[in-house]
Structure 1
Amino acid sequence: MSEINKETQLLVIGGGPGGYPAALAAADHGIRVILVDADPKLGGVCLNRGCIPSKALLHVAKMINETREAEEWGVHFSPAKIDLPKLASFVQQKVIGKLNGGVAALCKGRGVEVINAKAIFEGPNTVRLEGANTGRIKFENAIVATGSVPAMPPAFALGDPRIMDSTGALQLQDIPSKLLIIGGGYIGLEIGTVYAALGSKITVVEFTDGLLPTADRDLVVPLEKRLRASFENIYLNTKVASLQPTPQGIVATLEGKDVPGQMTFDRVLVSVGRRPISQGFGLETAGVAVDKKGFILVDAQRRTNVPNIYAIGDVAGEPGLAHKATAEAKVVVEALLGEPAEFSPKAIPAVVFTDPELAWCGLTERDAQAQNIPYEKTVFPWAASGRAITLARTEGFTKMLFDPESKRVLGIAFVGVGAGEMIAEGVLAVEMGAVARDLADSIHAHPTLSETVMEASELAIGSATHLAKPKKVAK
């Protein structure tokens, strides 16, 4: 431990997908930057305990599932044998470790000074350091990028290691025979997909009437059908009233129609959302305002009510997505440089990395209906896609929303294999104000799933080659 007393032009608090890109971008423009993070490994939740390890494990699950499905094609594999310690080591060392090292090297190469400590505001221009290093840093401007943590309702915080949040579940301590997932959002379903492939019997309990409550209902249908085949149980409109640790397992008491009163599980994953990390580091001392949910209030430049303090990422409001944080980082640095920048995207992509994947951007049907925004909808089923047929995965579809008059693209959504890789074209179309003919006349490679974008656009202006034009669906 060392005593640190420094001054800097820009202090960045948090080394996740918002913080470290902000530090790098500022350094590229000659700004003197200090990056402070309490975690000795840079990258934040996304790299260390979230997006990256979960996607590595989802890739493993995909391989396991494909070996099983290949039997229908006449290709036979022996059942997969899981070396859990080796798999966990691969994720930690070959995936997370490699990316940790890459971020650290980028900071060193760009002249960003990294300090491992917790930063606590003592005022609008000073923080106190605690933890691995102590001391004080004076700054001209600061960016708060402290992120979020899994929410754990007090009723479930029983101190039993068998009751996990997403961080614990991704550590792969063992493969439970029976796993309860409380919450049918994307984090729970992604982790459930992993454990189901590894051999666990999964039960999902969701309080609302559908999985992925924020997604359009038609997108969820193909996913729910597949999950019901691979999961043991999915209970909707159901509440977990209590959890009781016993030597035999965690006893869950359920409340809902046509559900068992009690069930016993080896482990429980509590996946009911995340909360911003806005307490415990002196925001109130600096005079920074937060809302009743704990999110830091910011303007279009991500500036707080204290003019020299900015906030980005999960702590600055929803959606809690890594790519949203990175985009905000660029805006803040441009604002610091005096450029006319603001965070006002028309399309922030959302991706659910289940199997099949879901992805959408721009206007959704549920938002259009709630806001009484008129639209036309086209849907191209992947059953009419040659590429989907070659993959034996025809359950998906491409959906596009257009302005009824101008045919401008308002939103696009996919459900199917590889949907997350396809959404970028939709983001570009919405951000650039493309119209249906722009996409319909853009030649897409054959055979690819991306052709479904072209054909869905053709439906808006005429008829698609591989699908007769249905009657317009105007809202």
Structure 2
Amino acid sequence: MQQYKAIIVGSGQGGNPLAWKLAAAGWSTAVVEKRFIGGTCINDGCTPTKTMIASAQVAHMVANSKQWGVTVNGWSVDLERVVARKDKIVLDYRSGIEKSLEKTENITVYHGEAVFSGPKTLTVKLNEGATEELSAEYIFLDIGTLPMIPPVPGLDEVSWLTSTTILDLTTLPSHLLILGGSYIALELGQLYRRLGAEVTIMERGPRLLNNEDDDVAEAVQKIMQDEGIHIFTGTQLKQVSQTSRGIVCSIQKDGQTHSVEGSHLLIATGRVPQTATLQPDKAGIELDEKGFIRVNDHLETTVPGIYAMGDAKGGPAFTHIAWHDHLIVYKHLTGASASVKDRQVPYCMFIDPQLGRIGLSEKEATARGLDYTVARLDMTRVARALETGTAKGFMKALVANDTGKILGAMVLGPEGGELMSLLQMAMAGGITAQQMKEMVFAHPLYAESLNNLFYKL
């Protein structure tokens, strides 16, 4: 039995920085990773997708270059090179993190799958075949999630893709069918459409982006459709089958059944926590009804000394939240005040134009009975967007009528995430709408549009 002060299961965006902090504090720390160092973000999520989205954006600009007065003849997409560029960046990130962990004093890395064998003990089945027994005073779970595969008749008889496996395709799908209509589906749908595939999105809900306001969802859908993406909402996938022509999806919409044919099928219907194989019940760790780990405001599980970070604990499933989780855990361990209560949860969907969000949506503010006013500005009123030829989308901010404080904001537009971050800082600093309206921004930045946004009040 190998004894440590701390064991971290999973080397994602919460686990790695926590390992470095604990090691620097003198804690003997074991990091257990069953797959790739770096977790979902580095290997399957943010890094590879945003790298390929950049290639797709270049392709889109070349295809539409005439609007900027530039003619490009004889261009083409080399998907093998696109994927190779992605693979190199992912490998560089992954190997850099791995080397840093391995050379850090007080950190031991185990490549294998961890399973609880008791309250503070783990059995690690190493990838090379051996087994190690580990125990620790503290255990931290950063185990992440996996794509959720819905129970659709016929699905087990066809070849389907996930957000992980699709990124390794080196032959472009002629027609990509996507089941799901949220962030992953839209990012990948636009990505492969811009690389040259025909794309059809099938969403069970009445509209895309169920968590967003109606006007946001409608604007995003129009952007997708303007690029030639076919969208079916309010549909139920009844059957999937393989034919000589490809994959056929039988969908039901408004009481009628339709057939949609494509060459490839991407399942993008959400994600589930990787808790089952960990056998947390052997440690006494409680899960919720969906299999996510129950934690308190300090991210401690139902077992004292065992904490959970990142997506597997439920809540906002974003890399930056997993990273912030490690700060809350570390501060709590050192006696400082830290909690998930009232922390800001910004996020950005990397379609083009970007969708950045912070704070309350109109749906949320109305549900809380808040007294607020909405400031809205179309990107066609933003000088920088017009000058760069990227004037799609709009931005809006919710402002409290009594204090003038910003309650929430959304930017659907070029560099929408960056603009959202400015509004996030304004919210954190208590800067009012009046102050933003009179702020001096350099001309002609996108940031300057925030003056005009709040003048709309």
The aligned counterpart of 1:89 is 84
Matched, 1:376 2:373: yes
> For residues 346 and 408 of structure 1, do their structure 2 counterparts lie closer, same or farther at Cα, with a shift above 3 Å needed?
farther
The aligned counterpart of 1:169 is 166
Counterpart of 2:45, as a letter, is: G
Pick the aligned partner of 2:254 from 233, 257, 260.
Answer: 257
The aligned counterpart of 1:56 is 51
CA distance in 1, matches of 2:75, 2:48: 20
CA distance in 1, matches of 2:221, 2:62: 21
Pick the aligned partner of 2:18 from 19, 22, 26.
Answer: 22
The aligned counterpart of 1:101 is 95
**Per-residue deviation, residues 422-451 of structure 1 (Å, max 9, x unmatched):** 222122222333222332343212111111
> For residues 419 and 232 of structure 1, do their structure 2 counterparts lie closer, same or farther at Cα, with a shift above 3 Å needed?
closer
The aligned counterpart of 1:12 is 8
Deviation at 1:259, TM superposition (A): 7.1
Range with greater deviation from structure 2 (369-378 or 295-304): 369-378
Pick the aligned partner of 2:119 from 108, 115, 124.
Answer: 124
Secondary structure of the 1:152 match is: coil
CA distance in 1, matches of 2:340, 2:364: 20
CA distance in 2, matches of 1:457, 1:35: 48
Counterpart of 1:328, as a letter, is: D
**Per-residue deviation, residues 327-385 of structure 1 (Å, max 9, x unmatched):** 01111011111222112244211211111211111111111122222211111222221
CA distance in 2, matches of 1:372, 1:7: 53
Matched, 1:31 2:27: yes
Pick the aligned partner of 1:143 from 106, 123, 140.
Answer: 140
CA distance in 1, matches of 2:240, 2:438: 57
Runs of 4+ in 1 over 6 A off after TM superposition: none
Matched, 1:456 2:450: no
Range with greater deviation from structure 2 (46-55 or 256-265): 256-265
> For residues 438 and 26 of structure 1, do their structure 2 counterparts lie closer, same or farther at Cα, with a shift above 3 Å needed?
farther
The aligned counterpart of 2:349 is 352
TM-score w.r.t. the length of structure 1 is 0.91
CA distance in 2, matches of 1:251, 1:262: 6
Pick the aligned partner of 1:158 from 155, 162, 173.
Answer: 155
Counterpart of 1:96, as a letter, is: V
Q: Can you give the 5+ residue segments of structure 1 that lack an aligned partner in the other structure?
A: 461-475
Q: Is the 8 A contact 1:408 1:436 kept in 2?
A: yes
The aligned counterpart of 1:192 is 189
Q: Aligned pairs, how many? A: 454
Matched, 1:341 2:335: no
Q: Is the 8 A contact 2:153 2:238 kept in 1?
A: no
> For residues 374 and 156 of structure 1, do their structure 2 counterparts lie closer, same or farther at Cα, with a shift above 3 Å needed?
farther
> For residues 21 and 79 of structure 1, do their structure 2 counterparts lie closer, same or farther at Cα, with a shift above 3 Å needed?
farther
CA distance in 1, matches of 2:442, 2:73: 36
CA distance in 2, matches of 1:129, 1:245: 40
Secondary structure of the 1:117 match is: strand
**Per-residue deviation, residues 92-143 of structure 1 (Å, max 9, x unmatched):** 12x1011002211332343322110111111221111113252111101011
> For residues 122 and 17 of structure 1, do their structure 2 counterparts lie closer, same or farther at Cα, with a shift above 3 Å needed?
same
CA distance in 1, matches of 2:381, 2:174: 39
Deviation at 1:263, TM superposition (A): 2.1
Q: Can you give the 5+ residue segments of structure 2 that lack an aligned partner in the other structure?
A: none
The aligned counterpart of 1:331 is 328
Matched, 1:78 2:69: no
CA distance in 2, matches of 1:459, 1:36: 53
Deviation at 1:161, TM superposition (A): 6.4
Deviation at 1:455, TM superposition (A): 2.7
Q: Is the 8 A contact 2:354 2:413 kept in 1?
A: yes
Range with greater deviation from structure 2 (289-298 or 63-72): 63-72
CA distance in 2, matches of 1:89, 1:62: 17
CA distance in 2, matches of 1:160, 1:30: 52
Matches within 5 A, 1:218-257: 218-257=215-254
**Per-residue deviation, residues 156-182 of structure 1 (Å, max 9, x unmatched):** 673456311111111124211111111
The aligned counterpart of 1:473 is none
CA distance in 2, matches of 1:434, 1:25: 33
What CA RMSD, in Å, does the superposition of the two structures yield over aligned residues? Answer: 1.8
Q: Is the 8 A contact 1:222 1:356 kept in 2?
A: no
Secondary structure of the 1:433 match is: coil
Identity %: 28
CA distance in 2, matches of 1:124, 1:15: 21
> For residues 181 and 259 of structure 1, do their structure 2 counterparts lie closer, same or farther at Cα, with a shift above 3 Å needed?
farther
Matched, 1:431 2:428: yes
CA distance in 2, matches of 1:359, 1:232: 22
**Per-residue deviation, residues 21-56 of structure 1 (Å, max 9, x unmatched):** 2212222333222111101x2111111111111111
Secondary structure of the 2:451 match is: helix
Q: Is the 8 A contact 1:375 1:401 kept in 2?
A: yes
CA distance in 1, matches of 2:219, 2:194: 18
Deviation at 1:229, TM superposition (A): 2.1
Matched, 1:317 2:314: yes
Secondary structure of the 1:107 match is: helix
Deviation at 1:78, TM superposition (A): 2.3
Q: Is the 8 A contact 1:249 1:266 kept in 2?
A: yes
Counterpart of 2:18, as a letter, is: A
Q: Is the 8 A contact 1:346 1:430 kept in 2?
A: no
> For residues 428 and 215 of structure 1, do their structure 2 counterparts lie closer, same or farther at Cα, with a shift above 3 Å needed?
same
Counterpart of 1:24, as a letter, is: W
